[in-house]
Amino acid sequence: MAKTLSGLNFISLDSAVTSAQSTPLVTTDKESLEPLEGRLSDADATKIGIFEPRDIASPLSKVTSNSSLDLTKRFKPVTSFNTTTGPKRSDFSITINTRHRNYHYTRRSRTYLAVLHARDISYRALQWLFDKLLEDGDTLVGVRVVDQQASIECDTETWKRIQETAARELVSRLQMLNNGDIALCVSVEFSAGLIHSVIQHVIRIYEPTMLVVETHDQELDDDGGLCAGSIPKYCLQYSPIPVTIVLPGM
């Protein structure tokens, strides 16, 4: 069922959307990233907005530790690139590509881009993608813009290592949402910088079929429309590809 707010069409979680074919995944040849060890502490993860606190329910809370491990083992790493262009935090960028063990690209394969823009990431939009759109042979790209002002008291190099670990944690989270065992690619673009520029850059690289973004209550005005300057509003106005907005409460 589609909803209309302030003259714009929004897709609810129960809507089925058909899309055109997309081109295959494209990556650039950058310096390979060495495997990372360890996990983020709950405190650091919460500060940079990767995990919901443990007392907040999420789709992942329904997955047991054993089944979660099994889901992630169905994927194998393909390529990881450290695309950082300079010494500053604002230069940070990392790309991680993984692939389901049964993945095969076909002419029907599509690419979906999920913009994970909020400080506290919700997985409703991602779960909707898995439930309604993603099929064998598809690619899911999650783009996350790093909060450079996050209150992590450390030097820049340590901060970058924390972000690299967080990016790998996000890949695992996306893999764990694949309860239907869909044979797909899961990629993450984890970057500092202006979110508008990052979104346009990722669209140029992956040429996705559709962009999916979740909106939050604070991004809606008194009339229920999208606030000027919000990321969902920007995506609707400037995205060169179709956009699906997942509204709060759906």
Q: Show pLDDT as tens, one digit a residue, over the chain (250 residues).
A: 434 343 344 443 333 333 333 333 333 333 333 333 444 454 554 444 443 333 333 444 444 444 555 666 788 887 777 767 677 787 888 999 999 999 999 999 999 999 886 555 567 778 889 999 999 999 999 998 887 666 567 788 888 888 888 889 889 888 889 988 999 999 999 888 888 888 999 999 999 999 998 775 555 555 555 555 577 777 888 889 998 887 765 5
CATH 3.10.105.10, applies to 2-246: no
Closest CA to 204 of 193, 189, 184, 215: 189
Where along the chain do its domains lie? 2-246
